[in-house]
Amino acid sequence: MPLSESTQHQYNALLQTKGLADFSRRTQLEVTGNDRATFLNNFCTNDIPSRKNGEGCEAFFTDVKGKVLAYASLFCTDNAIHVETVPDQGEMLTAHLDRYLIREDVELADRSNQWGQLIVSGKEVSSLLESLCGLKPPAVLWNHCTAQLTGRTVFLRKVDYLGPTTWLVGCTCQEDVPLLIGTLTEAGTVACDREAIEMARIEAGTPYYGRDISDGHLPQEVDRNERAISFTKGCYLGQETVARLDALGRVNRALRAVQFDQSSVPPSGTTLHVEDRVVGEVTSAIFSSRTNSPLAMAYVRREYFEMGTKLASEFGSATVVEFPG
């Protein structure tokens, strides 16, 4: 299933030159107050108080049973922590945290409908942002800073959602988004649609809550332990389950990249088999330009999730592989 010329052009821009997409529908919470870091630390898997101004991390917010309620990026400033995740989680996440807010000096504000955000990616993006903003964008993952772009104050956040040359450009007014897009487009940045974004995301191995993660999953099953989980930070909601699973040293299933040998892209929910046994299920899939074949994210049982393991499906045979991005 070859890619259209337009999609291939956009995908190439996201990796090789400079591509962008409007990410303004994403959930963005602003958490303020003197107790913000210790408060958030009680509800997510990573160590928040250790992050300094201009630093950040990724983390899972978990329920009392250790199941994943949200998979988010957190960015710490000198007076707030910004929590960024997929669209339509602001109301749920704010209500979840507010339920436990008693006497702490913490204010929770859902800025999803106020703030705007773009994602920009490609090998030329760093130099482009430097030329437009007058400073080098952060190079260390999750680091961030403020800058001026077209006379507007923006957040520059280093992420790897679409690969190693990816940044978020945020602003506190969604009405400024068209102006920012116009400036970046005039500088040669290519506007990219969902298909190109999804291809880069899946190749980079970035899971998406609501597709690749749900409230039925445990954090270790998503296989982001080194990036998103601190096993030394102490107690938090759901920590007992996470710690018990760590003590066992294994999970029953884990998220993996699975490459198919036929041209049809398997839909979400496609089951993976070894002989007559169901051993996995596809969560997201695209036709990968890098592998020239369908590539999926899938949960695969422990006995079969090692690299090189052969699996079967109604869309042909498949192999557990490394994420190419």
Supply the mean pLDDT for the chain. 97
Is 267 part of a structural domain of the chain? Answer: yes
What tens digit of pLDDT does each residue of 264-282 get?
Answer: 999 999 999 999 999 999 9
Q: Verify that 193 and 309 share a domain, yes or no.
A: no
The verdict on residue 83 lying in a domain is no
> Is residue 227 a part of any domain in this protein?
no
φ and ψ at 47, to 5 degrees?
-90, 105
Residues 184 and 261 in one domain: no
Q: For position 3, what pLDDT does the model report? A: 80
- Count: domains in the chain: 2
Q: Which of 39, 70, 75, 44 is nearest to 57 (CA)?
A: 75
Tell me: do 256 and 199 sit in the same domain. no
Structure tokens belonging to residue 163: 């690969």
pLDDT tens digits, 153-177: 999 999 999 999 999 999 999 999 9
Distance CA(182)–CA(186), nearest Å, equals 6
**125 and 20 in one domain?**
yes
pLDDT digits (tens, 9 = 90+) for 233-262: 999 999 999 999 999 888 999 999 999 999
Q: What is the average per-residue pLDDT within 74-85?
A: 98
- Assigned token pair, 157: 């956040």
pLDDT digits (tens, 9 = 90+) for 223-240: 999 999 999 999 999 999
What digits encode the pLDDT tens for the residues 104-129? 999 999 999 999 999 999 999 999 99
Bridge-based pairing of strands 166-171 and 271-274 is unpaired
CATH code at 186? Answer: 3.30.1360.120
Strands (E), 63-179: 68-76, 81-85, 107-110, 116-121, 144-149, 152-159, 166-171
In a domain, 147, yes or no: yes
Q: In this structure, is residue 78 part of a structural domain?
A: no
Between the alpha carbon of residue 79 and those of residues 107, 108, 176, the distances in Å are 11, 13, 23
The residue to which tokens 């000198």 are assigned: 78
pLDDT at position 1 is: 60
Q: pLDDT value at position 249?
A: 85
Q: Check pLDDT > 70 for residue 2.
A: no
Is there a single domain that holds both residue 14 and residue 131? yes
- pLDDT of amino acid 250: 87
Q: What is the pLDDT of residue 126?
A: 98
pLDDT tens digit sequence for 24-42: 999 999 999 999 999 999 9
Distance between CA 264 and CA 248 in Å, rounded? Answer: 38
SS3 279: strand
- Does one domain contain both 14 and 156? yes
- Looking at the structure, tell me whether residues 17 and 119 fall in a common domain: yes
Give dist(CA 236, CA 214) in Å, integer: 19
What CATH code is carried by the domain that includes residue 277?
Answer: 2.40.30.110
Angle between helices 125-133 and 177-186 (to 10 degrees): 110
The verdict on residue 123 lying in a domain is yes
Chosen domain end from 188, 203, 218? 203
User: Which residues span the domain enclosing 306?
Assistant: 252-325
Q: What is the pLDDT of residues 190-226, one digit of tens each?
A: 999 999 999 999 999 999 999 999 999 999 999 999 9
CA distance 325 to 318: 19
% of the chain surpassing 90 pLDDT: 97
Q: What is the pTM of this model?
A: 0.96
